[in-house]
Structure 1
Amino acid sequence: MSIFTGDNRKASAQAFISGIPYASASGMRLEDVSEGRCSLLLPARATWTGDSERKLIHPGCLSVLADTACGVAVGCAMEELEPYATLDLRMDYLRPPVAETDLICTAECHRLSRSVAFVRGELHQPGQSEPVATVHATFMRATANTRRKDAGTASRQPTPSEAASALIAPASVESSKVFVSTPDATPETLALPPGRSPYVDFLNIHQQTQVDAGPVFRMPFKPELIGNPVLPALHGGILAGFGETAMILHLVQTNPGITGVPRGVDFAIAYMRSAKPVDTFAQCTTVRQGNRVALVMVSLWQDDPCKPVVQARGHFLMPRDDA
């Protein structure tokens, strides 16, 4: 039996969502919930558009919705409240998602071991019978009795709002202090002209030119990017969206002859440590590039490039003149 039980299951799970600042700010809401399963809706917004010319949703929006839905599904599968953390997440993009249309992710925690939770799901848009993407994710379970021992007080059943902020936690706790974002002194410009990609505008991504190793991208911190208000820490899905954006921008800039935007085929991200509420940086490497498909890796860091918060890789279809 899960921690979300009885008639109040949906209300408790919705309180869980409301406790995540990014999920609340983006308007995410539960469509359905049961033991080990949930359907989470991301309402349509012009802000989520990634490609204004082709009218497509940015793939990062799919990743952040999937990460959140998978986390809720894990919570719905647990018998007792305990923190847990996203270890990795993989997205497969099956067809382009239409901009300014709702997105729904249905996730299922199909295996809950003593240490790891395994989740799978699909993302749909209303009116379409086929999914636009699939997701597979794993979550690390914390040791609940160790946390109770460290707390030094008797445990009690948390309220829904406390559950919301306690369940999904990044893999390592570094600080509960809110840090002040300090931009790097390196000269920089906006990564894209305003209006070209509303989602990139929302993330406010800037670019720093590094002659030696290619462009470095910076995502300034803002409070609505928080996923865990207790630590606090950035939402893991936002890190995925930033990483995917950096990959696309990297391919565009390292292939000056292309006339369109590379389209994601798949994306896999591994979380190394919690991401503090400060500016985050990204730099990419093209591992292999053929006539149609490119494989790119990205590293995201905050204080030190040698200590990444996440690493990810993705395949992209390169645009063709005859496409």
Structure 2
Amino acid sequence: MSIFSSDSRTTWAQAFISGIPYAAFSSMQVVEIGKGFVTLLLPARATWTGDTKRNLIHAGCLSVLADTACGLAVGSAMEEMEPFATLDLRMDYLRPPVANVNVTCRATCHRLSRSVAFVRGELFQLGQAEPVATVNATFMRGTASTRKAPPATQPTPAEAAAHLVSPTSLDTSHYIRSTPVDTPETPARTGGRSPYVDFLGIHQQAQVDAGPVFRLPFQRDLIGNPILPALHGGVLAGFGETAMILHLMDTVPGILDAPRSVDFAIAYMRSAKPVDTFAQCTTVRQGNRVALAQVSIWQDDPQRPVANARGHFLMPREEG
């Protein structure tokens, strides 16, 4: 028997959001929820701006919203709550998202198999009838060992969410910066145009033969799973996408402005611990108008990435 009714889904979703430090910090709000679907709101904030010159939201903010909404859709589709984690997520950016305007994501879990959940969704901004982006994601459900017979008395949705740690009580004091202190680095070179990159605190380490290495310093507000704890998967996506843009700006000659995301896909290998995270990129294909890049994201060991991602980018160049 399902433990969810319409009201209890709302209670569970609100507890779920309030228990995720990044979602709570972002003031995300559940607008609507039902069996297998949710609409989640990300209120406008100057911090989310990715390009002040072009007045655009950073695409990584859309990824965080989409990942969170898709997770809520999976949870709302289940008969009994169990662990689940993002396997991969793909974003298609249909039109430029305007800065300082609310964004909503309506996500639907359209297939819930024994092992995997499949979700798709659309992201909208106030005043626009057409979506600014679409998302497709897959989630791994709890392993067989966690899918046990339900107890005689099922917990309420509020009790099922009670294991989530309050963002204010989460203790991360024992986690330390993992970067060697003698590693030369500078703040990411954005020309002061990207408040979101400044918020993430991304740094660029000294140029190496394979291209620059980027570092995302740990912040407790970036946590997405307070139980492990682990960084938010959407934050990893935003970091990876930023790293690819900075890599292209640093390595491709003749670029007039920051590349603009066309699409982005990320595959998660393992949970990202609450420590510093690193990324290094490769340009797979460089055309006149579009570049394809890929990025490896790791923490303790470059040979054991926590995620891999790739994306296409529009390259602003002089007409010649």
TM value normalised by structure 1: 0.91
2:206 corresponds to: 209
Q: Does 1:188 align with 2:185?
A: yes
* SS of equivalent to 1:135: strand
CA contact (8 A) 2:254 2:318 kept: no
Give the counterpart letter for 1:160 in structure 2. A
1:224 corresponds to: 221
Q: Any runs of at least 4 consecutive aligned residues in structure 1 with deviations exceeding 6 A, and if so which?
A: none
Correspondence for 2:289 among 289, 292, 299? 292
Residue 16 of structure 1 deviates from its aligned partner by 1.0
2:155 corresponds to: 157
Q: Does 1:239 align with 2:229?
A: no
Q: 5 Å matches for 1:20-39? A: 20-39=20-39
1:260 corresponds to: 257
Give the counterpart letter for 1:96 in structure 2. P
Q: Does 1:133 align with 2:129?
A: no
Give the counterpart letter for 2:225 in structure 1. N
Q: Does 1:318 align with 2:304?
A: no
1:111 corresponds to: 111
Give the counterpart letter for 1:183 in structure 2. T
TM value normalised by structure 2: 0.92
CA deviation map 1:154-193 (0-9, x unaligned): 9862653752766xxxxxxxxx995222333310000125
CA deviation map 1:210-256 (0-9, x unaligned): 33111000000010000011100000000000000000000001124
Residue 4 of structure 1 deviates from its aligned partner by 3.6
Cα separation, 2, equivalents of 1:306 and 1:208: 18
CA RMSD between the two structures: 2.3
The percent of aligned pairs where both chains have the same amino acid is: 71
Give the counterpart letter for 2:24 in structure 1. S
Structure 1 unaligned spans of 5+: 167-175
1:121 corresponds to: 121
CA contact (8 A) 1:111 1:118 kept: yes
Residue 42 of structure 1 deviates from its aligned partner by 0.2
- Tell me the number of residue pairs that the alignment of Structure 1 and Structure 2 aligns: 312
Instruction: Pick closer, same or farther for the CA change 1:61–1:2 going to 2, 3 Å.
Output: farther
Structure 2 unaligned spans of 5+: 165-171
Residue 209 of structure 1 deviates from its aligned partner by 1.8
Instruction: Pick closer, same or farther for the CA change 1:258–1:146 going to 2, 3 Å.
Output: closer
